[in-house]
Structure 1
């Protein structure tokens, strides 16, 4: 395993760790899989499904050979992350117009988001190097995940959170885990620049997506999907695009599986951004070579509220490798799609629902055929942003198509019967929409 700059190709040791090359490029981890026997690995990964209390009970460390083979087991910091559900829903198929839709609920991770898949590897690597202070800038999911893992490792975490346009639920979760939270003026991007400049002075180990070990952990999501589906992936995989680390990890995992002959084809990837925070989509749709940061991004899907995604070069490579595309969707479309996913019984935070909103748009544009199979990755738990839930169903500033208001009624047969008659049938609405 070696670390390589994605811009200039310079190599470096994992023990002489740097987040960025001297040329300014991000670092990627390159593995040598040439000595692996695929059938043997499939057997090992299957046997580990029965593990309960060892590190291999984790849905990340089950695939240790493909993620961080040389890490000593005693350095692993885990909460048995991964192992999240894969679901199908007739309701979502009806809403999107695609017959075979899967939901991968990374929202079922221990801290409630996909960030756990990457954070377990990042914190484990930091522990291996002897760090005791971990840091990140975050719109919420990264910070709560880091707070949890740092506490498990008996270490300290320091998180920098924008002072507006975030979910207070995630900040409260971070504080509850013992994270030291700093509310900062400015944006996520300002926090990243601060950590890049001063992390060495503070002795911080950075756990944002500029850290390539985060990406190594997050690529386990695609390994798990492939294993659940007997190593036959859907035609499309759709992922939200904020900092773009998840899209990057997804592509890296797909390349690994294809190179090792676990899969015989690579699905197409669609990256979905919110219209108010869509610099990557704008770059791709205008066929530009570099990204133009959005200085004041805004979307109700707070996890997507990133104007200068650090992993955009890696994400562009994913689109090139998978014949992928980008889409931007409105907040209204995101929140309506969230209402549908919530009603499937799975549920998600707003950013996750961008996947279903994007799928619906791609189907209406006939980019995706109704008979193709599609997997939407849900990144965060339904209770990660209760403010958005409240405003959609009970607020007055959003015209949600699928509002589900609280019904006030006296406790009598007649009054309850009358109230029940006002309830709108969701299946009937889906026939219209």
Structure 2
């Protein structure tokens, strides 16, 4: 039977106990399964016949069999072989796992379908999160689907309205806190502790991580149960990289894959405490007091899941890299124009990181690499518009259009 386990002191809590931090040492929790039970579930052939999606992997999720799922059809996103971009960067086997294809346009939907399903299973009627955008959009949608109340706290400053508009239209109560994300997160912790009827669904919640681990499962499924050599992923609050690693290690322990990839985390300059810790071989992060980057989805100075992320990177013999805003924007434009995949700036950091690591000789040109892009470009259309050519206004005349396109006037045959 599954249970919740403290990552530090290993204190165990029941699967249906509402607890966000270890009561003994204060550290974060993760879901652990009985290995024999998980192995038995893996042997059943039925799950492999279900179309690719998060709930294809229901036998590996900590949800009771009788529970009704809160789902919008998440998962099953494309794994795109990117030959043209690979040739541009100098790598032979490059794939893009495009999480912008999820229902609300980001990878967050994987965690929310499981997290909100668990909330309803536990009897919650009110869910809450702090967010820089995508989490709020996803939670609001799944709360609406479940018919429960939703509150989101967002930090002051620039917010990508493509994301905020989603939270608003889905009916969430949106509060903009005069402070940064880390301060907003502290408030939702306090609210969920003080008001026990409010269920917290930030990435600190281990049930969200369980949904996000399906991303690791899917990559292996789509590569015919052959794990890639390396997975490159943007890192903000750090729940996703550790979730993907959890899914991969579970598949490996079950014998469904024969090797494990190197987990490679990418952070933006000005918001890179985990990458700094990896590069300096430190066991602690130094929080960034005022994080700043164009990649708002990863603009987090004190990531809650940093221990899990560092463990994932080190256990997999991976690494972490820091990229500038200019490098991120260049990668966003390159991916859109070479492969036709439009992603938000934070998503493009995985491509920017790959480019940098190839130049440094860290990534070999014969590696099979999967870059995860975490959110759709329409999440932040203003950034895309600012770095693109403006529309050209012309007269309603064929000659004017030809002139604007640089076409020579054709001589009409008599």
TM-score, shorter chain, exceeding 0.5: yes
- What is the TM-score when the length of structure 2 is the normalising length? 0.93
Contact 1:95 1:360 in 2 (8 A): no
- Corresponding residue number in structure 2 for 1:93: 86
- Corresponding residue number in structure 1 for 2:238: 244
1:320-339 alignment, distance < 5 Å: 320-339=314-333
The CA RMSD over aligned residues, in Å, is 1.6
- Corresponding residue number in structure 1 for 2:108: 115
- Corresponding residue number in structure 1 for 2:34: 32
Alpha-carbon distance between aligned partners in 2 of 1:100 and 1:141, rounded to the nearest angstrom: 29
- Corresponding residue number in structure 2 for 1:350: 345
Pair 1:369–1:411, CA change in 2 (3 A): farther
Alpha-carbon distance between aligned partners in 2 of 1:73 and 1:163, rounded to the nearest angstrom: 41
Q: Deviations over 1:23-70 (max 9, x none)?
A: 1100011111324248734x3233112xxxxxxxx71111011122x5
Alpha-carbon distance between aligned partners in 2 of 1:121 and 1:38, rounded to the nearest angstrom: 18
Structure 1: stretches of 5+ with no match in the other structure? 50-57, 394-403, 423-433
- Does residue 313 (structure 1) correspond to residue 307 (structure 2)? The answer is yes
Alpha-carbon distance between aligned partners in 2 of 1:305 and 1:3, rounded to the nearest angstrom: 29
- What is the TM-score when the length of structure 1 is the normalising length? 0.90
Q: Deviations over 1:149-195 (max 9, x none)?
A: 00111000000001213212211110101111001111111111112
Alpha-carbon distance between aligned partners in 2 of 1:61 and 1:177, rounded to the nearest angstrom: 23
Alpha-carbon distance between aligned partners in 2 of 1:331 and 1:7, rounded to the nearest angstrom: 35
Alpha-carbon distance between aligned partners in 2 of 1:127 and 1:39, rounded to the nearest angstrom: 26
1:44-193 alignment, distance < 5 Å: 44-49=46-51, 59-68=53-62, 70-193=63-186
- Corresponding residue number in structure 2 for 1:257: 251
Alpha-carbon distance between aligned partners in 2 of 1:267 and 1:418, rounded to the nearest angstrom: 52
Alpha-carbon distance between aligned partners in 2 of 1:39 and 1:183, rounded to the nearest angstrom: 44
Q: Deviations over 1:293-334 (max 9, x none)?
A: 111101101101100010000001101221010000011111
- Corresponding residue number in structure 1 for 2:410: none
Alpha-carbon distance between aligned partners in 1 of 2:184 and 2:113, rounded to the nearest angstrom: 22
Q: Which stretches of structure 1, 4 residues or more, deviate above 6 A after TM superposition?
A: none
Contact 2:4 2:29 in 1 (8 A): yes
Contact 2:41 2:60 in 1 (8 A): no
Structure 2: stretches of 5+ with no match in the other structure? 408-414
Residue of structure 2 aligned with 1:206, choices 186, 200, 204:
200
Contact 1:38 1:262 in 2 (8 A): no
- Does residue 416 (structure 1) correspond to residue 369 (structure 2)? The answer is no
Q: How far off is 1:2 after superposition?
A: 1.0
Instruction: Give SS of 1:131's match.
Output: coil
Contact 2:328 2:345 in 1 (8 A): yes
Q: How far off is 1:412 after superposition?
A: 4.2
Q: How far off is 1:408 after superposition?
A: 3.6
- Corresponding residue number in structure 2 for 1:366: 361
Q: Deviations over 1:325-355 (max 9, x none)?
A: 0000011111111112222222111111001
Contact 2:227 2:258 in 1 (8 A): no
Alpha-carbon distance between aligned partners in 1 of 2:250 and 2:406, rounded to the nearest angstrom: 54
Contact 2:41 2:59 in 1 (8 A): no
Instruction: Give SS of 1:342's match.
Output: helix
Residue of structure 1 aligned with 2:279, choices 276, 285, 293:
285
Residue of structure 2 aligned with 1:196, choices 186, 189, 192:
189
Residue of structure 1 aligned with 2:221, choices 204, 207, 227:
227
Q: Deviations over 1:82-122 (max 9, x none)?
A: 01111122331133221211111111111110000000111
